[in-house]
Amino acid sequence: MKQRLELTWIGKGEEDVLEPRILIENPKYSYGDPDTGNLLIHGDNLLALKSLVASGYAGKAKCIYIDPPYNTGSAFEHYDDNVEHSIWLSLMKQRLELLRELLALDGSIWISIDAYECHYLKVLCDEIFGRNNFVDEVIWQRSYAPINLKKTVSRSHDAILIYARNIEGFTLNKLPRTEEANSRYKNPDNDPRGPWTSGPIQVGPRVESNVYPIVTPSGRVVVPPEEFSWRYSESRLQELINDNRIYFGENGDNVPRIKRFLSEVKEGVVALSLWLRTEVGDTQEAKKEVKGINSKDVFSTPKPERLIERVLTLASNEGDLVLDSFLGSGTTAAVAHKMGRRYIGIELGDHAYTHCVPRLKKVIDGTDKGGITASTGWAGGGGFRFYELAPTLLNEDEHGVMVISPEYNAEMLAAAMALHEGFHYAPDAELFWKQGHSTESDFIYTTTQHLTIETLEYIDSLLGEGETLLICCTSHAVGVSGRFPRITVKQIPRMLLGRCAFDPAKSYDLNIITLPEVEPQDEEDDE
């Protein structure tokens, strides 16, 4: 067997098969227009991601941004359990595998991480997404002043790893041109075509046919440096000179350069891999933004809205679906909303209620004046639906027997069984036994009533030509199996046992503790 290059650790490959949970809307927290396609989900993100895959969201997310806990081994307020390195990798592996399934074929995933786990995460992502699908690493300047209490280096940056679902044909958008970029264009020779900048015409490696002397207007003869040649053939260069597109300097004595006119420059510029705080904000800016939402409980590790705006500008367009499974204080959802993207945000902690919901309400009401509100011209509108994960479907009773959890009513059970069996839950208004479908002719029906021969005969008489039906029931009459060729009968919970982990006490929480960093000193303190 061909050996693979991969990262190994204790416990790799021993993960539980996850139970797909249904999502239950909590209308108390849903807000605004319910039909926007925007979702907030409260619950363990691993189980939520599994549910999204099973619910038809596979291949739908154009841009995924996540800011997972960094596993630095010590303390931030909203997380309460340290995770050993190998466990962290296992938990990240499960999540990244599901995120890949949710990613569109032309989509990309952006992962914020610091130096403690960055390189391990890079190798893990190479394995999951494919090393050839690695796009680049962005360096974000998250702070502006050194922490003098540090004994070694005061780290002022985090990394963002970028992977495409499929690098073939993958492209990112350009960044809008800035006034600063445009200011680099001048017009020292009063060219009627307007401001221009210049670039070198020597390139490597050397092409002998493009090696020739050039006589400048001052009479000086210039040739390309060793191992280089001119970018253009001699005849093409003469055409450019005749069109006043070659500049020899104010005195006509410089090495020739090609003129590039501002009027001819394509809209947008390619992003650099170094993102300065002056361009995309820093942690101090982010905390001020969150403080405007909840001044009594400022989230410890937010990202500035300008940073997420940069990501979404490059990786998505209006109407695209954006996913963040570590939503935190809600920044990604807020920015996506203001930029006209659809979004799904998943958050485990109580700050789903204390931060995310209030923040998005203010965005929808048009009362959030911070972040990118002014630059985007956002004035309010839209909405979202708020969902919570259902409890585990099966529980042990007092005798140790697996039974359907009492929290499940008939509607929840029907939806859950449709999810487990790969059906789309869509109850028919007239036919009670048509609760969902996998194709136009294949249906599912779930009942807690004892299934009799008479009931099966009645349903069979209503089935159309070519239609089939799966019935999930808690009990049935003797002799139903095989009696009706178009109907398959399975018994709950027996049909589910051994499929996945049904354990209400099992936690998949990625609750990692990180010590709050010492606040950086003001710049003037170090002068």
Q: Over the range 134-163, which residues count as b (16 or more CB within 10 Å of their CB) and which as e?
A: bbeebebbbbbbbeeeeeeeeebbbbbbbb
Task: Indicate the fold that domain 394-496 takes in CATH.
Answer: Trna Endonuclease; Chain: A, domain 1 (3.40.1350)
In sequence order, the 6+-apart residues with CB closer than 8 A to the CB of 417 are 423, 444, 446, 472, 492
177 Ramachandran zone, left/alpha/beta (phi>0; psi -120 to 50): beta
**Which tens digit of pLDDT belongs to each residue from 363-401?**
999 999 999 999 999 999 999 999 999 999 999 999 989
Residue 77 has pLDDT above 60, yes or no: no
- Match 């130096």 to its residue by tokens: 115
DSSP state letter for 418? H
Residue 368: the pLDDT is 95
pLDDT in tens, 423-453: 999 999 999 999 999 999 999 999 999 999 9
Q: Is the pLDDT of residue 126 over 80?
A: yes
Pair 423, 456: CB distance under 8 Å: no
**For 349-370, how does the pLDDT look when each residue is reduced to its tens digit (9 = 90+)?**
888 999 999 999 999 999 999 9
pLDDT score at 72: 54
pLDDT of residue 34: 93
Q: Given the structure tokens 């995120």, which residue do they identify?
A: 99
What is d(CA 452, CA 400) in angstroms, rounded to the nearest whole number? 28
What pLDDT does residue 79 have?
42
Whole-number Å distance between alpha carbons of 171 and 303:
25
Task: Provide mean pLDDT across the span 265-276.
Answer: 88
Task: Tell me the CA distances in angstroms from 252 to 190, 212, 218, one per residue in order.
Answer: 15, 19, 5
Q: Report the CATH superfamily, name and number, of domain 23-176+269-389.
A: Vaccinia Virus protein VP39 (3.40.50.150)
Q: Are 382 and 364 in contact (CB under 8 A)?
A: yes
What pTM value is reported for the model?
Answer: 0.83
pLDDT above 70 (res 482): yes
Contacts 24+ apart (CB under 8 A), 30-33: 30/383, 30/384, 30/385, 30/386, 31/357, 31/360, 31/361, 31/364, 31/383, 31/384, 31/386, 32/361, 32/364, 32/381, 32/382, 32/383, 32/384, 33/381, 33/382, 33/383
Q: Residue 263's pLDDT is what?
A: 86
- In the chain, what are the domain boundaries? 23-176+269-389, 179-264, 394-496
Query: pLDDT value at position 11?
Result: 82
For residue 95, pLDDT beyond 60? yes
Is pLDDT above 90 for 51? yes
Alpha carbon distance 440, 423 (integer Å): 11
List the one residue out of 60, 158, 96, 155 whose CA is nearest residue 510: 96
User: Is it the case that residue 510 has pLDDT exceeding 70?
Assistant: no
**pLDDT of amino acid 80:** 37
Average per-residue pLDDT in the chain? 89
Q: 271-315: per-residue pLDDT in tens?
A: 999 999 999 999 999 989 988 777 676 666 789 999 999 999 999
- d(CA 130, CA 139) in angstroms, rounded, equals 21
pLDDT over 70 for what percent of the chain?
A: 91
Closest CA relative to residue 56, chosen from 436, 369, 350, 318? 436
Rg (CA), the chain: 30
Of 147-151, 283-287, 512-516, the range with the lowest mean pLDDT is 512-516
Distance of CA 260 to the CA centre of its chain: 37
Query: Is a pLDDT exceeding 50 seen at residue 249?
Result: yes
d(CA 237, CA 258): 10
pLDDT-above-90 percentage for the chain: 73
What is the structure's pLDDT at 512? 43
